[in-house]
Structure 1
Amino acid sequence: MTSSLTLVQSVSILECMLRIRRFEEMLIDLAKDHNFGHYHLYIGEEATGATVAESLRDTDLLLTTWRNHGHLLARGAEPGKMVAEILGRIDGYNKGRGGTLHLTAREKGFLSTSGLVGGAVGLAAGAGFALKQMGEGNICVVFFGDGALEEGIVFEAMNLASLWALPVLFMCENNNSGAISAQEGGFPSSEIAASKISDIPKSLNIKTDVVDGANVAAVHDVVNDAVCEMRESGKPIFIEAYTERWPGSRPLWPEQATPVTDITSAWDETVISGDSSGWIRDYDPIIRFVRGGLDQGMFTESDLLDRDSRILSEIKEARAFGEASAYPDPESALDGTFVAQEV
């Protein structure tokens, strides 16, 4: 099957994927110098977030999980303001109050990021209901992992979306490694009897697709078709993007389990080394996309190196911006809350 992905879209998605990767590699280093609490990385899943964002309108809404940096960057969030937020600084998107787990950007269409497994999915059903009433053809996309299918609210939200025909794209990024399941990843799990994730939305009469989450062209075609169909029908769709967990996300705290990404490994496999060389060579979505783009003549080695260098400089500046930002005034601690500030 020939992909509908254009050259312009391919370049845009590639730059987005590189921006996400370089941002998160920077975060691993940033965490060594700043104590900003637990965080989660999106490395290895960039092809999904970057490609989904390419198919959306500015007026569409999004919700996501604590693995949110990639989704925000894909939507055009400013890396510097994101670093400031992660460090708890005043120039962050949420004035330092959200931190990494609740970092969100309303101006980019993000209603919320949730630190709860499946926590954003119920909100997405509500957003879909509102969009249906508005009748402007916009949709809501909610990202979540395979472990979220073990939460009751996810089933309930999908059921209502199907019953009420709500324009919600349920985007399941399945890394086949449940965070708290007694069984190590996969279905059926210790909590779910279904043999496959896709069986669950299908049982609720929700159209369902399964795609290789590291294949940019495949994700683009599936998502683009789904989005176009949803704008016409207003009905929900469920997409399971199967991804391969990045080795650095397996420990409790993220670590640089693979070398910092070397873009040249797409055309020179001799630079690939280490215990995780198989993941880099066979799965890394950036390396796979670059390798395919070179084979098809979409990219050149020199152009790729130039783009990567420019993005590295951008991320370096973002880190400097975040570190230079001041902490919020302690007197403003209760600003923005729903609690009365005077008793």
Structure 2
Amino acid sequence: MTTALPEDRLWHLFEMMLLMRRFEESVVKMNVENHFTGHYHLYIGQEATGAAAIAQLEARDTITATHRNHGHVIARGAEPGPALAEIMGRAGGLSLGRGGTIHLSDPALGFLSTSGVVGGSISLGAGGAFARKMKKDGSVHMACFGDSALEEGVAYEALNISSLWKLPIVLLCENNSADAWDKSRGGYTSLVHAANDLRSIPGAMGIPSIRIDGTEVDEVHAAVAEAIAHCRSGKGPMFIEAMTRRWAGSAPLWPELSTGVTDLKMATGEAPMSGEHKAWYEENDPVLKLARRLLKTSPQAKDRMWELDRKAIARMQAAEKFAIDSPMPAPQTALEHVFA
């Protein structure tokens, strides 16, 4: 049985999850207002996984992430203003507007890359883990990837070499294929794999694996703590499959804020949970789940929750202004920061 986290740790994670959620809602707002164009992916519904996992990394550790990367970057401590400016292609962005949403990254925080190539974060992660091992300082690498990454050939090569060389890599598979739409409904084809249990893939290579509920911060925290300790002790990689149900807004080809701007009154009971997304609000929204849990801790919990939300909203309002006010990169800088 997973041990419940201390109350102060839960509040810390809730604060981060709330900022991650408000950040994604701002991304949608900026897109709707035509501040940027092009495709993007959202991390809504998976905040408990990213927050509880990444919070346990130390400054010396490194990370690679996927195209659904905004949550990882915010959870690692990136400033929302420059992160939002990067998504909008502005010169004030984390990568001076060169990376955009799909490759949103902050090398100063240990991000080697966030890759739009499916499976890319596993292969790049193996390289990162090899570098960690060569450092001989007990540092680890965390590779965050989706379930479909395990369809790619490079994933098998990376898993194999990670196991053979006992690389210190936490393999965090965020499986959100449940409730995904297929092409007939106007969505993406989700996981197509002959394996009926993804844990059997790393298992065949001698990599210990565990499956958890990705919306429960205690389960995520415990599994990642075990995996990090396993890696730091020189025992090689560990695989974690964090299960979440696909947020409805990520089901179509283009993301949409189908569940609306998050209303914490649904956690306090002041607003009804109704409509077609009622079950998601009740069972699958990690922010609302943790909010309801924290509201039971003390009579002051409600006021504390509202204060944290006010801070998150104010921080994102400032981030939006920073991003909008940031200029586009100057045309004469187009060939700067390129290899060839």
Scaled by the length of structure 1, the TM-score of the pair is 0.93
Distance 1:222 1:179 in 2: 29
CA distance in 2, matches of 1:299, 1:284: 23
Q: Secondary structure at the match of 2:211?
A: strand
Q: Indicate the residue corresponding to 2:89 in structure 1.
A: 88
Structure 1 segment 143-162 matched on structure 2, within 5 A:
143-162=144-163
Distance 1:325 1:20 in 2: 21
Contact 1:36 1:86 in 2 (8 A): no
The gaps in structure 1 that reach 5 residues or longer are none
Q: Which residue in 2 is equivalent to 1:42?
A: 43
Please name the residue that 2:20 is paired with.
20
Q: Which moved more, 1:120-129 or 1:70-79?
A: 120-129
Aligned twin of 1:204: 205
Offset, 1:4: 5.4
Instruction: Say which SS state the counterpart of residue 295 (structure 1) adopts.
Output: coil
Q: Equivalent residue for 1:259?
A: 260
Deviation at 1:225, TM superposition (A): 1.6
SS at match of 1:243: strand
Q: What secondary structure, in the 3-state scheme, does the structure 2 residue paired with 1:101 have? A: coil
Match of 1:246 in 2: 247
Residues in 2 aligned to 1:282 and 1:38: alpha-carbon distance in whole angstroms: 28
Aligned residues: 335
1:195 is matched with: 196
Letter in 2 for 1:64: A
Please state how far the C-alpha of 1:184 moved relative to its aligned partner.
Answer: 5.9
Which residue number corresponds to residue 72 of structure 2? 71
Q: Is the 8 A contact 2:146 2:173 kept in 1?
A: yes
Pairing 1:280–2:272 present: no
Structure 1 residues 270 and 327: CA distance shift in structure 2, 3 A: closer
Query: 1:181: how far off?
Result: 8.9
Cα separation, partners in 2 of 1:270 and 1:329, compared to 1, 3 Å: closer
Q: Distance in 2 between matches of 1:70 and 1:22?
A: 10
Displacement after TM superposition at 1:274 (Å): 2.4
- Show the counterpart of 2:9: 9
**Superposed CA offset, 1:202-238 (max 9, x none):** 1110010100000111111111121122111241000
Identity of aligned residues (%): 42
Structure 1 letter corresponding to 2:12: S
For residue 36 of structure 1, report the CA deviation from its aligned partner.
Answer: 2.6
Partner AA of 2:204 in structure 1? S
- The one-letter code matched in structure 2 to 1:125 is A
TM-score, normalization: structure 2?
0.94
Q: Residues 162 and 180 (structure 1 numbering): CA distance in 2 closer, same or farther, change over 3 Å?
A: farther
Give, as a single letter, the amino acid of the residue that structure 2 aligns with 1:63.
Answer: T
RMSD value over aligned CA atoms?
A: 1.9
Structure 2 unaligned regions, length at least 5? none
For the structure 1 residues 336 and 132, does the alpha-carbon distance in structure 2 shift closer, same or farther, using more than 3 Å as the test?
same
Partners of 1:80 and 1:91 lie apart in 2 by: 8
1:29 aligned partner, one-letter code: K
Deviation at 1:2, TM superposition (A): 5.2
